[in-house]
Amino acid sequence: MNYEETDKEYYESKWRFIGEWEKQKAPYFKKKPGIEGLLALELIKSRINSGRLLDVGCGGGRNTILFASNGFEAYGVDFSKSAVRLAKMLGRENNSSAKFSVQSVFDLRFENDFFDVVTDFGLFHHLRKRDVSNYLKRVSRMLNKKGYLILYTFSDKSKKTGNYKPFSKRNWSSRAGVYNHYYSKEEISKIFSKKFKIVKSRLIKEENRKLAFNLSLMRKY
């Protein structure tokens, strides 16, 4: 089964029918940068102040635009045509230098070692186990030597939400065919340790949300 096509159809249906951004409930359907983007910017600025940055699964582009306005040559990619269309519109509204294109993380059309930073605000935790090694390979290829990866994922410290129950043996859920994985810090370390060193990590609990998130800053070996 081609899960990426299933996921693409789901998110395409979500982004296609966005009218007024302000009326959307989900945080990632907002125009303003999210708390994850602001905290990630603070993290990466403690290391480097500029460079090429790739935002995978950029959605409507709010965090890509944030980095573009803070010294980075920012590129945003998403497999949803509707999301990229909205990201380009938001970029024009903000007179942003951010560049957006329709691309899958598994088929990125950039040269090896092209980026200094790769950001992922909510893509990785939707990948099935069989796709994780391919993701690592693709992301690592994009980053230059000693480049940084910023990863924002669902945490196993989330409260009960949907059909996910904290402290149970099952650390994943599925809704409308979309897979959600709730990662522990130990699990992230185990998966990424072969290619990355975790520099900093923190647990983030967003106000009025049951979900908790891991924000990790990693550096490529």
Res 88 pLDDT > 90: yes
Q: What structural domains and CATH numbers belong to the chain?
A: 3-15+33-195 (3.40.50.150)
Res 210 pLDDT > 90: no
- Judged by average pLDDT, the poorest of 67-71, 185-189, 208-212, 216-220 is 208-212
Res 152 pLDDT > 70: yes
Rounded average pLDDT over 46-68: 97
> How would residue 169 be classed by pLDDT, with cut points 50, 70 and 90?
low
| Distances 72 to 50, 59, 141, 167 between C-alpha atoms, Å | 5, 18, 20, 39
> What mean pLDDT, rounded, does the chain reach?
90
Residues linked to residue 52 through DSSP beta bridges, in sequence order: 73
Residue 7: its pLDDT value, please? 85
Q: How far is CA 13 from the centre of its chain?
A: 19
Q: Do residues 201 and 188 lie in contact, with contact meaning Cβ atoms separated by under 8 Å?
A: yes
92-140: pLDDT as tens digits: 999 999 999 999 999 999 999 999 999 999 999 999 999 999 999 999 9
Q: What's the pTM?
A: 0.92
Torsion-angle region of 71 (φ positive above 0: left; ψ -120 to 50: alpha; else: beta): left
The DSSP symbol for 183 reads B
What is the distance between the alpha carbons of residues 66 and 72, in angstroms, rounded to a whole number?
Answer: 9
15-44: pLDDT as tens digits: 876 666 656 667 777 889 989 999 999 999
Q: Do residues 87 and 100 lie in contact, with contact meaning Cβ atoms separated by under 8 Å?
A: yes
